[in-house]
């Protein structure tokens, strides 16, 4: 019985600390600045709940105190039979009350009239929740879980129950609450009152929905243009990806290894860099443009700025992803099927057309939908190349930061975008379930793939070779671009851009970071380093729960998590500022909001990787550990985690790199104090400082390459050792293909 007492005691201790020892409300200059202890416990802002309640007239906090005291009474006095039930009730009541009071009472007092009618007007409102409130919230969550554990739920495993409760709470706060806030925000005015006119005006705005380009002479609405672009990009990248996959697996192409290296590129490339390189090549002052205009004497055109340019940039960005998906698909087609077809008198062409290709269809659909969602969500390339022809994601951005700030419009556009991507995601799910011609079976499958029909082989090579060359030129531009003075005008080489960005000097015995980029560079590194382990931890914990535990609503939980993949970064960004700008939770302008954003955007990748790795580990290992007196926590630490090491490293690398390269959500959340590299580079591009921007981008790419190579080396070494020590452990690939498949900008 001592286990159950100890955990309730610990929870109550936390609650006491949260109520008495920590500031209850948010500290404006930041909790971690640690200037609050000076004013503690009697400063108006810094006071703990006890003082807030007694001295500052915030009487409603007494309810929290009463609930905590009731829990303590239950701990010592209640009979064992009913104790669990009482703890569950108190925990649930505590969480519900905290949420309710947070929404009901804000800066100005009651936020709903009903509160005033019931309890009379308040002398004082309250700011956003702070450390104390969060800790007490956790206390209630733990009490709730301890109560469930005592009732024997989940085999009485407190750790598992608490982990599930915590994850559900986190996902609710950081994924669903923001999206919900965005929906609410679309029908609210600036002061928060219900005002549907903005919503009605925007949802019917011809600038979004007009079909003039089809039926009239004008331009189509932004929604249709985005859709059209996404369809084009998805088609193009799927065709190119298939061509690459066929070349890499079915021909005697000499540089296959090199081709596969291409698949790493989209992970380490900040999303707008391709657009930037295209400007250096084909922009009005681009190398190719000026060369051609000199040669033929034609006026340099602006054709790049618009859907065409975005399309080319997106094809360059997403073809490697499609390639990666389709390699697996093409390799998955069983050679014995194709051999069977050939023995049935079908020639190579007929075999390909009637057997191989139909077997690849689900994979092709998958690649198409990934391309579609990627294109919809892409923010970097349209921002750089869009000009006046915006797409949904950039329009959202300009509705928030542009000349006429219109949060309602931003919310409506975000909802439209969300509807498109979620429909695609659901379509993908529906289409793929039960339609998977799983051609990779457990049985050994001998045989060789037949060569491609000759015309097709020529065709795919004709696509792949120029496109590869083009990609290499583009990346070459990125690496060289930083060393050129001003593209098109003055092509002489220079270190000026790097100097401006990354110069440093020794002054008074210390290094002075004088370059303009250092500020955002260090912030980025710091935030990425904090976010990466958190992402991996949350992702792998979730994977453990999904794979190893059976609980009510597990499928819903998993589905909701995977769905958060399909929420474009722009939508996340806009929903975060709408949700976390006002009490009860206020985080805008802090590093915390950036970290939370990265953790919950990149977590699903960790979940995927973790699920894949964990299903390869025999469940009886966990059970053996449990019967050997180890708690779930000890089991995870000593058995599961050591066996998952490669998956952990993959999740760490991925979330680190993604935190550095992502832009779409970040651009909404950065502040003067916490600026991120990508947001800073976009600023440079908007000022026309292409040289510095590209220098900074190439620096980022190099840093990430070093990081990935370093980790890969570490993993490779570890795996080798494991293989020499252990005959055949489940070797987990460092970056599972599905992981990258699900990457969404």
Partner 1 sequence: MNGLKTGSVVFEHVRKTFGTFTAIHDLSLTIEPGTLVTLLGPSGCGKTTTLRMLAGLEHPTDGRILIGGKDVTMLPANERDVSMVFQSYALFPHMTVIENVAYGLESSGLRKTEAREKAEAGLALVGLAGFGARLPAELSGGQQQRVAVARALVLEPQVLLLDEPLSNLDARLRRRVRTEIRELQQRLGFTAVYVTHDQEEALAVSDRIVVMVEGRIAQEGPPRALYESPASSFIADFMGEANVVPCEVVGVEGAEAVVRLGALEHRVPGRAARPGPAKLAIRPNAIRLAPADDGGLKGLVRHAAYLGDHVEYEVETEVGTLYVVDPDVERSLAATTPVAIGLHNRGVAIITA
Question: Per rule CB under 8 A, is residue 729 in the interface with partner 1?
Answer: yes
Stretch in the footprint of partner 1 (CB under 8 A) among 155-163, 285-293, 351-359, 452-460: 155-163
The answer to whether the CB of 376 falls within 8 A of the CB of 420 is yes
Least Å distance, CB 141 to partner 1, is 20
Nearer Cβ to partner 1 (492/620) = 620
CA–CA distance, 232 with 125 (Å, rounded to integer): 53
Residues 6+ away with beta carbon under 8 Å from 468: 259, 262
- Position among 642, 687, 710, 717 found at the interface with partner 1 (CB under 8 A): 642
Question: Per rule CB under 8 A, is residue 620 in the interface with partner 1?
Answer: yes
The answer to whether the CB of 474 falls within 8 A of the CB of 278 is yes
**Residue 724 burial by Cβ neighbours in a 10 Å radius (0-12, 13-18, 19+):** exposed
- Position among 345, 443, 507, 629 found at the interface with partner 1 (CB under 8 A): 629
Question: Per rule CB under 8 A, is residue 648 in the interface with partner 1?
Answer: no
Question: Per rule CB under 8 A, is residue 627 in the interface with partner 1?
Answer: yes
Least Å distance, CB 505 to partner 1, is 49
Least Å distance, CB 630 to partner 1, is 4
Q: Which of 194, 163, 271 is nearest to 549 (CA)?
A: 163
Least Å distance, CB 621 to partner 1, is 5
Tokens encoding 720: 């080798």
Question: Per rule CB under 8 A, is residue 558 in the interface with partner 1?
Answer: no
The secondary structure of residue 188, as a DSSP letter, is B
Nearer Cβ to partner 1 (158/487) = 158
CA–CA distance, 391 with 52 (Å, rounded to integer): 49
The answer to whether the CB of 396 falls within 8 A of the CB of 410 is yes
Contacts with partner 1, 686-725, as mask; x by CB under 8 A = ------------------------------------x--x
Least Å distance, CB 32 to partner 1, is 36
Residue 486 φ/ψ, nearest 5 degrees: -140, 115
Question: Per rule CB under 8 A, is residue 556 in the interface with partner 1?
Answer: no
Least Å distance, CB 654 to partner 1, is 23
Question: Per rule CB under 8 A, is residue 5 in the interface with partner 1?
Answer: no
Nearer Cβ to partner 1 (625/655) = 625
3-state secondary structure of 351: helix
Nearer Cβ to partner 1 (441/620) = 620
Nearer Cβ to partner 1 (256/718) = 718
The secondary structure of residue 123, as a DSSP letter, is S
- Position among 638, 673, 716, 720 found at the interface with partner 1 (CB under 8 A): 638
Least Å distance, CB 533 to partner 1, is 21
Question: Per rule CB under 8 A, is residue 78 in the interface with partner 1?
Answer: no
Tokens encoding 184: 């609410």
Q: Which residues of 304-326 are buried (b: 16+ CB within 10 A; e: fewer)?
A: bbbbebbbbbbbbbbbbbbbbbb
Least Å distance, CB 611 to partner 1, is 20
3-state secondary structure of 211: strand
Nearer Cβ to partner 1 (85/260) = 85
Residue 252 φ/ψ, nearest 5 degrees: -100, 45
Question: Per rule CB under 8 A, is residue 628 in the interface with partner 1?
Answer: yes
Residues in 273-332 that interact with partner 1 by CB under 8 A: none
Least Å distance, CB 698 to partner 1, is 40
The answer to whether the CB of 732 falls within 8 A of the CB of 612 is yes
Q: What is the largest CA-CA distance in the chain?
A: 93
Tokens encoding 268: 């380490």
Nearer Cβ to partner 1 (154/651) = 154
Tokens encoding 664: 């779409």
Least Å distance, CB 622 to partner 1, is 9
Residues in 131-150 that interact with partner 1 by CB under 8 A: 150
Question: Per rule CB under 8 A, is residue 81 in the interface with partner 1?
Answer: no
Question: Per rule CB under 8 A, is residue 3 in the interface with partner 1?
Answer: yes
Question: Per rule CB under 8 A, is residue 630 in the interface with partner 1?
Answer: yes
- Position among 41, 125, 156, 328 found at the interface with partner 1 (CB under 8 A): 156
Give me Rg for the CA atoms of the chain: 28
The secondary structure of residue 585, as a DSSP letter, is -
Least Å distance, CB 343 to partner 1, is 40
Query: Strand 490-493 to strand 109-110: parallel, antiparallel, or no bridges (unpaired)?
Result: unpaired
Nearer Cβ to partner 1 (635/739) = 635
The secondary structure of residue 674, as a DSSP letter, is S
- Position among 157, 374, 395, 586 found at the interface with partner 1 (CB under 8 A): 157
- Position among 212, 294, 347, 623 found at the interface with partner 1 (CB under 8 A): 623
- Position among 74, 240, 571, 643 found at the interface with partner 1 (CB under 8 A): 643
Question: Per rule CB under 8 A, is residue 117 in the interface with partner 1?
Answer: no
Least Å distance, CB 731 to partner 1, is 12
Q: What is the end-to-end Cα distance of the chain in Å, rounded?
A: 50
Q: Which residues of 552-570 are buried (b: 16+ CB within 10 A; e: fewer)?
A: eeeeebbeebebbbbbbbb
DSSP states of 391-407 as a string? -HHHHHHHHHHSSS--H
Nearer Cβ to partner 1 (157/395) = 157
Residues in 328-357 that interact with partner 1 by CB under 8 A: none
Size of the site for partner 1 (CB under 8 A): 31
Quote the Cα angle for 328-660-663, to 5°. Answer: 90
CA–CA distance, 376 with 392 (Å, rounded to integer): 8
Residues 6+ away with beta carbon under 8 Å from 255: none
- Position among 44, 55, 621, 713 found at the interface with partner 1 (CB under 8 A): 621
Q: Which of 72, 213, 220 is nearest to 146 (CA)?
A: 72
Q: Which of 719, 736, 387, 417 is nearest to 574 (CA)?
A: 417
Question: Per rule CB under 8 A, is residue 8 in the interface with partner 1?
Answer: no
Residues of this chain that bind partner 1 (CB under 8 A): 3, 150-152, 155-157, 618, 620-621, 623-632, 634, 638-639, 642-643, 722, 725-729
């Amino acid at each position: 019985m001592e286990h159950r007492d100890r955990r309730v005691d610990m929870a109550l201790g936390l609650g006491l600390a949260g109520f008495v020892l920590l500031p209850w409300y948010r500290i404006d200059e930041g909790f971690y600045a640690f200037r609050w202890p000076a004013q503690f416990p009697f400063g108006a802002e810094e006071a703990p709940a006890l003082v807030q309640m007694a001295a500052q007239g915030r009487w409603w906090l007494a309810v929290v105190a009463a609930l905590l005291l009731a829990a303590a009474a239950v701990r010592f006095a209640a009979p064992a039979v009913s104790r669990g039930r009482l703890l569950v009730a108190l925990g649930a009541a505590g969480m519900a009350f905290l949420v309710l009071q947070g929404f009901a009472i804000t800066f100005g007092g009651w936020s709903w009239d009903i509160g005033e009618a019931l309890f009379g007007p308040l002398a004082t409102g309250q700011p956003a929740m702070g450390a104390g409130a969060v800790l007490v919230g956790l206390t209630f969550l733990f009490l709730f879980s301890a109560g469930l554990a005592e009732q024997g739920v989940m085999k009485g495993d407190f750790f598992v129950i608490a982990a599930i409760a915590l994850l559900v709470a986190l996902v609710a706060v950081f994924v669903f609450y923001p999206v919900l806030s965005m929906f609410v925000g679309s029908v609210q005015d600036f002061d928060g009152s219900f005002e549907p006119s903005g919503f009605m005006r925007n949802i019917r705005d011809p600038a979004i929905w007009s079909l003039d380009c089809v039926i009239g002479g004008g331009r189509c609405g932004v929604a249709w243009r985005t859709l059209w672009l996404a369809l084009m990009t998805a088609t193009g990248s799927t065709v190119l990806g298939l061509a690459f996959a066929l070349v890499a697996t079915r021909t005697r192409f000499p540089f296959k290894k090199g081709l596969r290296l291409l698949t790493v590129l989209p992970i380490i490339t900040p999303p707008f860099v391709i657009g930037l390189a295209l400007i250096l090549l084909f922009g009005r002052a681009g190398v190719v443009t000026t060369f051609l205009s000199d040669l033929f004497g034609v006026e340099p055109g602006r054709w790049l700025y618009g859907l065409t340019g975005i399309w080319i940039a997106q094809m360059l960005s997403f073809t490697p992803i499609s390639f990666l998906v389709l390699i697996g698909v093409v390799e998955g087609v069983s050679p014995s099927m194709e051999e069977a077809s050939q023995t049935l008198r079908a020639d190579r062409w007929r075999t390909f057309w009637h057997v191989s290709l139909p077997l690849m269809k689900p994979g092709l659909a998958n690649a198409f939908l990934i391309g579609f969602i990627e294109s919809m969500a892409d923010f970097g390339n349209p921002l750089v190349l869009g000009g006046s022809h915006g797409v949904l994601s950039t329009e959202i951005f300009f509705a928030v930061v542009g000349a006429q700030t219109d949060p309602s419009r931003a919310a409506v556009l975000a909802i439209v975008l969300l509807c498109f991507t979620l429909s695609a995601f659901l379509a993908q799910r529906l289409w793929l379930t039960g339609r998977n011609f799983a051609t990779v079976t457990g049985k050994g499958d001998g045989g060789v793939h037949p060569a491609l029909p000759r015309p097709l082989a020529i065709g795919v090579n004709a696509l792949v070779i120029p496109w590869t060359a083009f990609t290499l030129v583009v990346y070459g531009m990125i690496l060289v671009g930083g060393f050129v003075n001003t593209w098109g005008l003055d092509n002489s080489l220079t270190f000026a851009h790097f100097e401006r960005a990354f110069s440093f000097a020794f002054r008074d015995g210390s290094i002075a970071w004088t370059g303009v980029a250092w500020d955002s560079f260090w912030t980025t590194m710091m935030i990425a380093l904090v976010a990466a382990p958190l992402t991996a931890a949350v992702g792998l914990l979730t994977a453990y729960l999904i794979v190893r535990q059976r609980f009510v609503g597990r499928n819903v939980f998993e589905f909701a998590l995977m769905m958060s993949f399909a929420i474009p970064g722009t939508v996340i960004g806009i929903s975060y500022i709408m949700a976390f700008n006002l009490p009860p939770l206020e985080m805008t302008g802090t590093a915390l909001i950036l970290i939370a954003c990265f953790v919950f955007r990149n977590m699903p990748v960790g979940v995927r990787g973790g699920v894949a790795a964990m299903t390869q580990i025999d469940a009886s290992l966990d059970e053996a550990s449990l019967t050997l007196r180890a708690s779930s926590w000890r089991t995870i630490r000593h058995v599961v985690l050591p066996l998952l090491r490669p998956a952990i490293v993959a999740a760490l690398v991925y979330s680190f790199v993604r935190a550095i390269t992502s832009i779409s959500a970040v651009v909404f959340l950065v502040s003067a104090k916490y600026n991120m590299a990508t947001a800073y580079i976009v600023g440079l591009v908007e000022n026309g400082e292409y040289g510095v921007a590209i220098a900074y981008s190439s620096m980022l790419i190099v840093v990430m390459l070093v990081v990935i190579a370093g980790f890969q080396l570490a993993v490779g070494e570890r795996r080798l050792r494991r293989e020499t020590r252990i005959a055949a452990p489940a070797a987990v690939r460092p970056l599972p293909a599905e992981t990258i498949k699900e990457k969404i900008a």
